[in-house]
Structure 1
Amino acid sequence: MALFLSTYINRVDRKGRVSVPAAFRTALSAQAFQGIVVFRSPVHACLEGFDGAKMDDLATRLDQFDLFSAEQDDLATAIFGDATPMAFDGDGRVTLTPDLIAHANIADQVAFVGLGRKFQLWEPSALKARQVHARANARDKGLTLPSIIGGAAS
């Protein structure tokens, strides 16, 4: 699976086209689908972005719920029912749909922020506020990464 790092702010044209950061495209280069999958975040006013392999992982996780349970149905609707596969054009761009743009309040710029195995697309000033909030939460709650069970890291 791809690993997404750093933050990039790119221009969005009038047609909703935006260049996916070169570092993200490089991380995705081994994938069968040359593009990204994006859906509206159920938590924030941003877009969630994944590669195809991570979407397969999400589907496997969803299989842990009973097929017709309310939980399975809600998560499947929020994630897969809203997911938009976006193939790269010849210039490494994707086209954001009007509903995606509206959800994240994106105008002429979008911030791609790497979050490890996923990334998010934010309106740049909203991302800055989110980063301040996330850092304060991590500090105030004393958050740290868990150890890998049976692995080399501790």
Structure 2
Amino acid sequence: MHSLPFVGKHDAAVDDKGRLSIPAEFRNALPSDAQRHVVLTVGSSDFINVFPVDYFNAFYAPSENDTANFALDDSMDRDMVLLTEAAVRPIDAQGRVTVPGNLLKQANIGREVVFFGRQKFFTIWNAEAFQSRMKSVSLSKAEAWNMLTDKTKGKGQ
């Protein structure tokens, strides 16, 4: 797995060909063996998830139960929702990725976007939707740190 996290917020614009320049900080955080491809998937609202290939494969790797039950409806439904619209896209020499039109449409993305780092992956948001979501967050910084601390308690013991 990669060692540099995807963090921060970066404003950008979609060009006329549907390409986005991935922020240099995010390009540098991609693992060297996968720097030329990313997996793009639908988000749960007005954003697109962007995963390094290795993280997507590890995240989406089936458990033993999934392997035994690969044909069950729940598994099939999940895959239909998440993978039907997914795409593996190369990153060109200028650090740009072409986002499929269907993903841009589903995320209501026009010209202005926000890249938002989520540690092991990043998201591409409709800029207005990102600002709206930020304004609606009622979690204080102290509460956010406490959530993270609670999550990590007990590790290494």
Q: Fold-level match, TM-score > 0.5?
A: yes
TM score, norm. by length of structure 1: 0.84
Provide the residue aligned with 1:44 in structure 2: 45
Q: In the alignment, residue 39 of structure 1 is paired with which amino acid? A: T
Q: Extract unaligned runs of 5+ from structure 1.
A: none
Q: Does 1:14 align with 2:16?
A: yes
Runs in 1 of length 4+ with deviation above 6 angstroms? none
* Equivalent residue in structure 2 for 1:151, among 148, 151, 156: 156
Cα deviation for residue 132 of structure 1 reads: 2.5
Match of 2:113 among 101, 104, 110: 110
Q: Size of the alignment, in residue pairs?
A: 147
| Identity over aligned pairs, percent | 25
Query: Where does residue 131 of structure 1 map in the other structure?
Result: 134
Task: Tell me the TM-score normalized by structure 2.
Answer: 0.82
1:31 to 1:69, Cα distance in 2 relative to 1, 3 A: same
Q: Which structure 2 residues correspond to residues 55-74 of structure 1 after superposition, within 5 A?
A: 55-61=56-62, 64-65=65-66, 66-74=69-77
Deviation of 1:122 after TM superposition, in Å, equals 0.5
RMSD: 2.0
For the structure 1 residues 102 and 37, does the alpha-carbon distance in structure 2 shift closer, same or farther, using more than 3 Å as the test? same
- Structure-to-structure mapping, 1:92-111, within 5 angstroms: 92-111=95-114
Q: How many Å separate the matches in 1 of 2:31 and 2:19?
A: 20
| Structure 2, unaligned runs of 5 or more | none
Deviations 1:35-72, CA, capped at 9 Å, x for gaps: 2211111x212111111111111232466432112221
Greater helix share, structure number: 2
Secondary structure in 1 matching 2:152:
coil
Residues 106-138 of structure 1: per-residue CA shift (max 9 Å, x gap): 1112111001112111111110111233x31x3
Deviation at 1:12, TM superposition (A): 1.1
